Amino acid sequence: MTTGKQEFLDGLRLVLPILVAPVSFSFITGATSVQKGLSAFEATLMSASVFAGGGQLLALEVWYEPQAWLLVMLAAISINVRFALQAASVQRKINHFTPLQRWLTIATLTDPAWGMSEVRHLSRQVTFWFISGITVPIYLIWVFGTLAGALLGNLIDDPARLGLDFGFVGIFIALAMPFWKRTGAVPVAVASGAVAIAAKLAGFAALYVFIGAMAGVAMAGLMAHRKAKRAHTP
Amino acid sequence: MSVDVNTLLAIVGMALATYLTRIAGLWLLQLANVGGRARSAMDALPPAVLMAVIAPTVLATGLAETIAAAITIVAAFRLPLLVAVATGVASVVVLRQLIG
């Protein structure tokens, strides 16, 4: 039986190498926010209450004065729809949490917290302290990084020039690795990847993640169905 | 310290919308508790979401991103997470300079 402290340190150790992503991402979000006319306090408030990098940056893209806040909400929902899928998936692994722990985990779910919990679940039980070890540093960095970015303003004018926009893709690629060993992963990956590309090219701005993932899930369902049928026919 | 009411409303709206996307996952619980085919579909969720995020950026953005992603994948097989990600970021910067 491992203690909460050990579990927290396990999560922390795993998340440490990728903290460079929230550091740079939050800084860019803060800088972009002040460019769009938000005050440093408003930018920090946004990061503390929304806590979702992709959604915040997309919302800032469609941020005009006076605020089209319905558009901003739609932007947040469309890119964050993946959280619903991730929450649905991870919550089966955290059934043993207390209701408060489960709510905290889901309400603050991030890509790394989700991805690392899924990977850890392949070998052992996921604990609340393990997830906290991932989420707490990310949250603190996210809030204070946004503040720093907002205060220091326009030091980074083009994130793409520094390749910072690619960091998030790199993290996802690395996170995806352990799943390739599972049987049936390739058809699922091909289906979700191909459909996501088609949806993005067809103009489904940020919904393409949701559409692609649904295609992958449908493929997995189809494969299970055919396997079951084969088992019934001698 | 200035707070604009419209801005505040927009921020509250975003926070609420994002909270709902996270919490909505709990409503998918009923789906998750079924066995057989639905179970296989739920198990496929993590790789499916990951691929749906990665594939368009990797394959439909530009040649520099595609090559950088290939480098990241190879690096991720051999190197620790941070080094693999850093390798990917460095290669995308270089490749964008070379290819445009």
Give the count of alpha carbons within 13 A of B96, CB side only.
17
User: Considering only CB atoms, which chain A residues are within 8 Å of B36?
Assistant: 224, 228
Which residue does chain B place closest to A111, by CA atoms? B50
Q: CB-CB: which of B14, B37, B52 is closest to A193?
A: B52
Locus of tokens 């690395």:
A174
Q: Do B93 and A83 touch (CB under 8 A)?
A: no
What pLDDT score does B18 carry? 92
Of A35-39, A96-100, B60-64, the range with the highest mean pLDDT is: A96-100
How many angstroms separate the Cα of A72 from the Cα of each of A32, A53, A62, A162, A186?
15, 14, 7, 27, 36
Evaluate if pTM is beyond 0.80.
Answer: no
Q: For A109-144, how does the pLDDT look when each residue is reduced to its tens digit (9 = 90+)?
A: 998 899 899 999 999 999 999 999 999 999 999 999
Q: Do B40 and A221 touch (CB under 8 A)?
A: yes
Q: Do A196 and B22 touch (CB under 8 A)?
A: no
Are A40 and A165 in contact, with CB atoms under 8 Å apart? no
What pLDDT score does A154 carry? 59
**B window 21-40, beta carbon within 8 A of A:** 21-26, 28-29, 31-32, 36-40
Mean pLDDT of A32-40: 83
For residue A146 the two structure tokens come to 């946004």
Q: Is the pLDDT of residue B33 over 60?
A: no
Q: Using CA atoms, how far apart are residues B72 and B70, in angstroms rounded to an integer?
A: 5
Residue A72's Cβ-count burial label (10 Å; 0-12, 13-18, 19+) is buried
- Please choose, from the candidates A45, A139, A36, A108, the residue with its C-alpha nearest in 3D space to the C-alpha of residue B8: A45
Q: Using CA atoms, how far apart are residues B14 and B8, in angstroms rounded to an integer?
A: 10
